Amino acid sequence: MPPAWFCKDRLVHVIVVGCGRVGSELAERLQDAGHSVAVIDKDRSAFHWLPVDWPGRRVVGYGFDRDHLAEAGVDECGALAAVTSGDNSNILTARIARETYDISNVVARIYDPRRAVIYQRLGIATVATTSWTVDQILQRMFPEKSASIWTDPTGQFRLVERVLPPWMAGRPLSSLGDGRWRPVLLTRAGEARLADPQAVCQEGDVLLVAVRVEQVDALEKVLATGPSEDGELQ
């Protein structure tokens, strides 16, 4: 079965800049899904991460060099991912792809979470590796705490993931909402479903909630303390 994001009617040429563990796996998965792929890396030896019979293009060079981009097929490119080990290189590559070649689907891997927020606000999609890793570790260490999954490019909204607290067992999801946030997805026993306000919560449920950034602490407080004696949320 093809991956959930695969769509045979939207096959494009993709350029992946950086052929480390992340770049090589990304390139393989894109190729397996039917896209054409070119990989750029400044170190020829980095291509050893790719299968020997990998059919995509291999370009030795830099993702911000126009000649190297041309060799990788930038004029036919529908998406680009900059996933080298350098934040500056990734951002420069992403900006050139967006501003010079008008490639709309561009993602940059960023290690510095503060930079990631800045570039998201400029409309450049980023994956903040450090923040994502820390969130995943904290979520597994302290499942009673929320983990930030995604922040929109304006920095106003977040999606946070949380194992529901015991006080919500047996209550409908609507008992959590009061207009400051909105449950989006409920995962139970490994199966995800759209959050239904009337769904009755069970122990071990995992909820994805859309919330304004300034209300994250308030959401945490409600999840931690539950309703007051009169049934009102704190």
189 and 226 Cβ atoms separated by less than 8 Å? no
DSSP 8-state assignment for residue 231: S
Token readout for 203 is 């122990």
Residue scoring higher pLDDT (131 or 203)? 203
Query: Over 80: is that where the pLDDT of 147 sits?
Result: no
Element holding 25 (H helix, E strand): helix 21-32
pLDDT at 145: 59
Q: How confident is the model at residue 45 (pLDDT cuts 50, 70, 90)?
A: very high
CB atoms within 10 A of CB 206: 16
7-26 per-position pLDDT tens digit:
455 789 999 999 999 999 99
CA gap 94, 105 in Å, rounded: 10
Residue scoring higher pLDDT (194 or 112)? 194
Q: Three-state DSSP class for 166?
A: helix
Sheet arrangement for strand 77-82: 57-60, 36-41, 13-17, 77-82, 105-110, 125-128
pLDDT at 156: 80
Q: How confident is the model at residue 139 (pLDDT cuts 50, 70, 90)?
A: low
50-80 per-position pLDDT tens digit:
999 999 999 999 999 999 999 999 999 999 9
Mean pLDDT of the chain: 83
DSSP 8-state assignment for residue 180: S
| CATH top class, domain 142-225 | alpha beta
Q: Among all chains, which residue has been given the structure tokens 């045979």?
A: 8
Token readout for 34 is 């039917």
Count of residues in the chain: 234
What is the average per-residue pLDDT within 176-201?
87
What is the average per-residue pLDDT within 137-148?
58
104-127 per-position pLDDT tens digit:
889 888 888 777 777 766 677 777
Sheet arrangement for strand 147-151: 147-151, 157-163, 206-212, 181-188, 191-194
- Give me the residue spans of the domains in the chain: 12-132, 142-225
Residue scoring higher pLDDT (149 or 20)? 20
Task: Specify the pTM.
Answer: 0.62
196-216 per-position pLDDT tens digit:
989 999 988 889 999 988 888
Q: Where would I find the H helices in 72-215? A: 87-99, 113-121, 129-141
pLDDT at 6: 47
Domain 12-132 has CATH 3.90.660.10: no
